[in-house]
Amino acid sequence: MSEDHQNPPLNYVRNEDLFVITYIYVVFGAITLFLNIPLAIYLLKTTSKNQKELIVIIALSLSDTVCAGQFLAMGIYRFVVWFSDVLFISQAACNRNIIVASYQICIQMDNLFGLTIALDRLFAVLLPVRYNKCGPGYTFFIVTSPVAVSLLGYCIHLLAISLLPPKFVDNICFNFSSVLPWFRNYLAYQRMLCVFIPIIIYFFIYIRMKLRFQRYGNSNSVLNKGMRHLTKTVSFITLASVFLVLIPEVWWYFTLFGGMDASIYFMFILLKKIVTFFIHTIRHRELMKHVHKVLPRKLTKLINFDAQSHSAVSKVKVIRESSHPVTTSMR
């Protein structure tokens, strides 16, 4: 047996709660993946490469799709490992596992995309003329930054854990026991701040845009409507994150009211991605045209579907056609 592996203690028994979490990974991961793949394909087909506002939203949708696929892969992997012989492996070996590595990268990427989009919206509202002049380089930077920071965080943790004396964990590689305490703290505070900071940003944007609209009236209504529509979409996602990410994370991390069961915690994480799908769908009316065909009539009336209303896609096109004199009135 290699230095990275050893037999488990004689009295070791696997935590049955991990089996429940594995079911959540598989069921919710499959549902989320099933929902997000068509959405990502739709957005890719209907968005021009010059629409950087929507390309960032596409990146968020693709991130949700990748994370959903990763959760599904994690669940399948754990089912396979669960029914095999128990083996203890070092934390370094556990973190080098492609399934565990992708989990740590995806969980960071999921956090950082929300913050990145909020900063992008703040830039668009504060400096609209300069924002419209930004080219593909800006879009590339916005889309790749969360991925790059996530990879950097994973690599730093892997290097640190590889240099320390080996500590052995169950080869099911339950994430919180397989990472160093400071990295767990980093993930927790990253998740909390990446929801809390955007909430502050969107509150500031709401106040600013409301004051601007009152000041200029309808003279700039086209630009205001387009910008508000895009900003509302991501702000609704952030609002959902408050209840499905921030509150569960605070509850879990600080063990409030006796703490939260791990299965409930991970269910909230995946439920947020399902809610994000429905927010995207309802906010993009062209997509909703296809969705409402398969929904019961009572449900379409409940969500007040209007097939003639414009989506964020069409409104961004209107913004692109606006002249600079109209745009500069936002300054």
Find the Cα–Cα–Cα–Cα dihedral 196, 250, 109, 24, rounded to 10°. -140
- Most confidently predicted of 58-62, 153-157, 201-205: 153-157
pLDDT top residue among 31 and 54: 31
**Per-residue confidence band for 52, with pLDDT thresholds at 50, 70 and 90:** low
Using left for φ > 0, alpha for ψ between -120 and 50, and beta otherwise, residue 240 falls in alpha
pLDDT score, position 309: 41
* DSSP three-state, residue 263: helix
Provide mean pLDDT across the span 121-139: 86
Please determine, for residue 313, whether its predicted confidence score (pLDDT) is greater than 80: no
Q: What is the pLDDT of residue 316?
A: 44
Describe the strand order of the beta sheet including 168-170 as a list of residue ranges.
Answer: 5-6, 88-90, 168-170
Please state which of the ranges 56-65, 72-81, 131-140 shows the lowest mean pLDDT: 56-65
pLDDT top residue among 127 and 151: 151
pLDDT at 298: 56
Burial pattern 294-311, b for ≥16 Cβ within 10 A else e, equals eeeeeeeeeeebeeeebb
Q: What is the mean pLDDT of residues 118-142?
A: 87
Q: What is the DSSP letter of 246?
A: I
Instruction: Work out the pLDDT band at 227, boundaries 50, 70, 90.
Output: low
- C-alpha to C-alpha distance for 330 and 224, rounded to whole angstroms: 9
**What mean pLDDT is reported for the chain?**
79
Q: What is the mean pLDDT of residues 228-235?
A: 74
Residue ranges of domains in the chain, CATH in brackets: 5-306 (1.20.1070.10)
pLDDT in tens, 6-42: 888 888 888 787 888 888 889 988 988 888 887 777 7
Provide the pLDDT for residue 299.
52
pLDDT at residue number 222: 42
The helix/strand/coil state of 6 is strand
Q: What is the number of alpha carbons within 13 Å of residue 296 lying toward its C-beta?
A: 3
Q: Quickly list DSSP for 39-105.
A: HHHHHHHH--TT-HHHHHHHHHHHHHHHHHHHHHHHHHHHHHHHTS---EEEHHHHHHSHHHHHHHH
Residue (of 186, 305, 301, 207) closest to 253 by Cα position: 186
Look at residue 47 in the predicted model and tell me its pLDDT.
66
Closest CA to 157 of 88, 91, 250: 91
Report the Cα 263 to chain-centroid distance in Å: 19
pLDDT band at 128 (very low <50, low <70, confident <90, very high): confident
The whole-model pTM stands at: 0.79
What percentage of the chain exceeds 70 in pLDDT?
Answer: 76
- Whole-number pLDDT of residue 157: 96
Is pLDDT larger for residue 289 or for residue 75?
75
155-202: per-residue pLDDT in tens? 999 999 999 998 998 888 876 788 999 999 999 999 999 999 999 999
The pLDDT, as a whole number, for residue 301 is 58
Predicted confidence at residue 49, as pLDDT, reads 61
Q: Which pLDDT score is estimated for 28?
A: 87
Do the beta carbons of residue 14 and residue 170 sit within 8 Å?
yes
pLDDT at 177: 81
